Structure 1
Amino acid sequence: MTHGVRTATHGPAFDAVLCDLDNVVRFYDVRHLAALERAAGLPEGTTEDIAYAPETDLPLLLGRITLEEWAETVARALAGRVGEATARELGRALAEAPFHADEAVVALLRRVRARVPLVLVTNATPRLADDLAALGLTDLAHHVVSSAVEGVAKPDPAIYRIAAARAGVPMDRCLFVDDSRENVDAAVALGMTGVHFRQPSDLHGPFGIDRRES
């Protein structure tokens, strides 16, 4: 559940929480994309495998291209396998996939926010502000550190330092939450306490919240 966690004799082991967004708070629904892939004779997940390869994904996450340009890049990579029209449809379906927030995680984070600084640290597209507004989460965190704004993405140590500075807390007093083991390991290497997220219950112990209270 936790990784590199320290214990403290008095009070919590952290003075700020730095939390990932995607696959912790926000989740995408790719069922429509999967149906299109099946209809095109592609294995499910093919479009995402291409889209999230570093050479395709990183320019978007660093704010160098738009979401539309990213979708076109994905379409070009698929065109030789399914034809241009279908490839564009698949690229758009991924870029426009609906998303929702996990209300259990949101509730936990709002409780934490009332006690310590909360910073969202996310490898995000340039549309992040609009996405948070659509989710009704513009007030979830005290600060948002976006790779597309900062020009640096996890697991680069620089984005962790930026987030800790926004929280106003030394790195060894930060609790970092992410669904990526690589990103958690990078935080721990900088002295943070790390939590590898897989489900909301993973947060109860590190946040000091009894499951019966949630």
Structure 2
Amino acid sequence: MYEAIVLDLGGVVVDFDPRSFLMERLCNESRENQVFDLVFGSKLWQELDAGLITRAEANRQIMEQAREQGLAFETQAILDDWPQMLHTRRRTVELMKQLKKQGYALYYLSNIAPDTLDMIKERDFWRLFTGGLASCEVQINKPDPRIYQEFLRRTGLSSDSIVFVDDNKANVQAAFEQGIAGIHYKGYNSFVKALGACGIHLKEPLVSRSTKE
């Protein structure tokens, strides 16, 4: 029987869809791809998540590359505005409340930079978590197997007592290789069904369909 649900943050509890964000802002596929590679798809972004570089230094290096490619204006706008995409997924939060009410402990395991983590911690849903681990705290990003091992060590949970939920399939696969059951998050409804397949059934109806995810 599972005793805890471990959630990724971006893409599960809060919105994080850089491709859609760039599409809305730039409306030019070529530039969208270029700016994505400069920012969200860059090694610098991975280093930010791992806490290996400051936001200021990462932005400086990104802008240096952007100027070389003639993308300074677009890139600066994205660097300024990207946190606006981090909307709380209300339906997920309601589900979290129900799971907690039914006795499941909630944890987080997320690739996230220190300043973004601080921002997310200010949200009301944060109190629902018993604990967790952020990549920036250990300088290791998913899907590196060491971060799953460190998570288990810090929380004292056993690998067979938890279900891990992530919108990145590679991260779910890496968890599985550590003996952790995983759910590849593709949307709210499929998430609820996947929980049911794990024997985790919601006992009460949740929010209406019209409520934002």
Q: TM-score, normalised by structure 2?
A: 0.80
Question: Does 2:7 correspond to 1:15?
Answer: no
Which residue, out of 75, 99, 103, partners 1:112? 99
Aligned to 1:183: 171
Q: Deviations over 1:181-204 (max 9, x none)?
A: 100000001111110001112232
Distance 2:60 2:81 in 1: 11
Distance 2:21 2:166 in 1: 26
* Cα 1:210–1:42 shift into 2, 3 Å: same
Aligned to 1:209: 201
Which residue, out of 54, 63, 83, partners 1:66? 54
Structure 2 spans left out of the alignment, 5+ residues: 207-213
Q: Deviations over 1:37-64 (max 9, x none)?
A: 348x953243223223352222101112
* Cα 1:110–1:167 shift into 2, 3 Å: farther
The 8 Å contact of residues 160 and 187 in structure 1, kept in 2 or not, is answered as yes
Aligned to 1:8: none
Distance 1:68 1:33 in 2: 21
Aligned to 1:200: 188
Aligned to 1:44: 32
Distance 1:70 1:142 in 2: 31
Question: Does 2:140 correspond to 1:148?
Answer: no
Q: Secondary structure at the match of 1:101?
A: coil
Given residue 93 of structure 2, which amino acid in structure 1 is its aligned partner? V
Given residue 51 of structure 2, which amino acid in structure 1 is its aligned partner? G
How far apart are residue 212 of structure 1 and its match?
6.8
The 8 Å contact of residues 204 and 211 in structure 1, kept in 2 or not, is answered as no
Question: Does 2:167 correspond to 1:160?
Answer: no
Q: Secondary structure at the match of 1:138?
A: helix
Percentage of identical aligned residues: 22
Aligned residues: 200
Given residue 102 of structure 1, which amino acid in structure 2 is its aligned partner? R
Question: Does 2:78 correspond to 1:78?
Answer: no
Aligned to 1:170: 158
Which residue, out of 123, 134, 139, partners 2:111? 123
* Cα 1:77–1:157 shift into 2, 3 Å: same
Q: Secondary structure at the match of 1:175?
A: strand
The 8 Å contact of residues 33 and 93 in structure 1, kept in 2 or not, is answered as no
Question: Does 2:18 correspond to 1:26?
Answer: no
The 8 Å contact of residues 35 and 71 in structure 2, kept in 1 or not, is answered as no
Q: Which is further off, 147-156 or 71-80?
A: 71-80
The 8 Å contact of residues 78 and 87 in structure 1, kept in 2 or not, is answered as yes
Cα RMSD, aligned residues only: 2.6
